[in-house]
Amino acid sequence: MVKVLISNATILTMSTKKDLVIGKGYVFINNGVIESIGEGEPPLEYQYPELLINGEGRIVCPGFSSAFTSVTLYPLRYRVRDVNWDEVLDYISVLSRTDVYYIAALSFMEMISRGVTTALISDIFLDNIARAAHDVGINVTLAVPYNCGIKDFDPDNELRLLLGKWHERVEGIKAAVLYCGEPSLKWLKDMVSHNINIYLFNSKLGLSDLPKELRSHVYFINPTRYSGSNVIRYGDGLKLWRPEEGLGIGVRPSYSMLSVIREVSIVTNKHPLDILHSAITVNNELIGFNDVGPIEVKCRANIVMFDTSEPPGWPALIDLESIVKAIVDGDLSIETVIMGNDILVDNKETLTVGYDLVKKAVNRLGPILKKFLKLPYD
């Protein structure tokens, strides 16, 4: 698609520059970039798009971002707390690159269907995960894990593959590094010299341990004694979340950022709007997608449309508190998802990949899951 017009919609822009809520308005997208937003009818020059989406009875908001996600563990998401780490490593060790592609594609299909348009992924075989992300249409930053304890995994080779084929060569695919131990300063300086945009480490280092010129490159995963704008929380760490910190899915039964937002709202008692801000704007900045986030002119299109024309969404109100409550707690149906120049989901159906891929993935992965989870596959 080149020119898309969404009209007659209730819009939660999440903008800090313009109106936060537009009661009945339009969004015009030209070649994947938001060209105009406004209240009421669009100007004449925007009234003849190549795709017109009627937003009546819909809430439009920015797509969500996960600042930390694992996809190879996606098939274990209902049991991951019951499986010890040695078993997890055994499971990962038998996965081929093709297996990982199919697992990633399935997880990305769920994520976009739940309105997640960007994510940071730390995993094995990221070259194949990049291909799955590109096929499904989700934008990803791929963090190569170092010192992760996975047998026969070569992080240096994986990083070379990402830099040579994907990073800043294919739109929507970026490279990063996750160090799972305590990195030496020399190693960190070497990584910075590669000009990779993001570097992620666990909580074994603090900012005071780093030279000033390196501090802007380091992000912390679930630190227990440190908080700040360069911190990402997921899993059990969500209870320590503070505004302006990032949030991630990690591995959980639902690969939905709305489930993360609801949990954080309950365990921290923070305002849902602050949590939405992190799940939309802060996360994208942390993982390197600075041109994605709020619904603002010149930003890349990053849009989720919720259906409020009938229960459970109806009746949709247009005041800020009601809109936020509807999105966070209302269990609304996601009807359309747009990322850049692509319609990923429309009429509640994934458009980028279909049933054939799902069938191949299930047939291929079934025997693996049977071995590790004792599932009743033939």
Classify burial at 214, counting beta carbons within 10 Å of its beta carbon; exposed 0-12, middle 13-18, buried 19 or more. Answer: middle
Tokens representing 354 are 């279909």
- Among 286, 309, 328, where does a domain finish? 286
pLDDT value of residue 327: 95
CB 5 within 8 A of CB 42: yes
Confidence of residue 371 (pLDDT cuts 50, 70, 90): confident
Question: Is 355 a member of any domain?
Answer: no
Measured distance CA(296)–CA(216) in Å, rounded: 26
Domain check: are 147 and 260 in the same one?
Answer: yes
Confidence of residue 375 (pLDDT cuts 50, 70, 90): low
Question: Is 363 a member of any domain?
Answer: no
Average model confidence (pLDDT) across the chain:
90
Higher pLDDT, 370 or 338: 338
Measured distance CA(75)–CA(92) in Å, rounded: 11
Q: Using one digit for the tens of pLDDT, what is the confidence trace for 95-151?
A: 999 999 999 999 999 999 999 999 999 999 999 999 999 999 999 999 999 877 777
Q: Using one digit for the tens of pLDDT, what is the confidence trace for 221-239?
A: 998 878 888 899 999 999 9
| Residue 376 clears pLDDT 70, i.e. is over it | no
Domain check: are 230 and 277 in the same one?
Answer: yes
The structure tokens 């996360």 sit at 283
Question: Is 10 a member of any domain?
Answer: yes
What are the CA-CA distances from residue 159 to residues 124, 153, 174, 175, 194 (Å)?
A: 11, 11, 11, 8, 10
Confidence of residue 81 (pLDDT cuts 50, 70, 90): confident
Q: Domain holding 298: CATH number? A: 2.30.40.10
Q: What 8-state DSSP symbol labels residue 48?
A: S
Domain coverage including residue 297: 3-63+293-347
Three-state SS for 283-347 is HHHHCCCCCCCCCCCCCECEEEEEECCCCCCCCCCCCHHHHHHHHHHCCCEEEEEEECCEEEEEC
Q: What percent of the chain has pLDDT over 90?
A: 67
Domain check: are 157 and 234 in the same one?
Answer: yes
Domain check: are 266 and 305 in the same one?
Answer: no
pLDDT value of residue 377: 52
Question: For the chain, what is the domain count?
Answer: 2
Measured distance CA(221)–CA(371) in Å, rounded: 31
pLDDT value of residue 72: 94
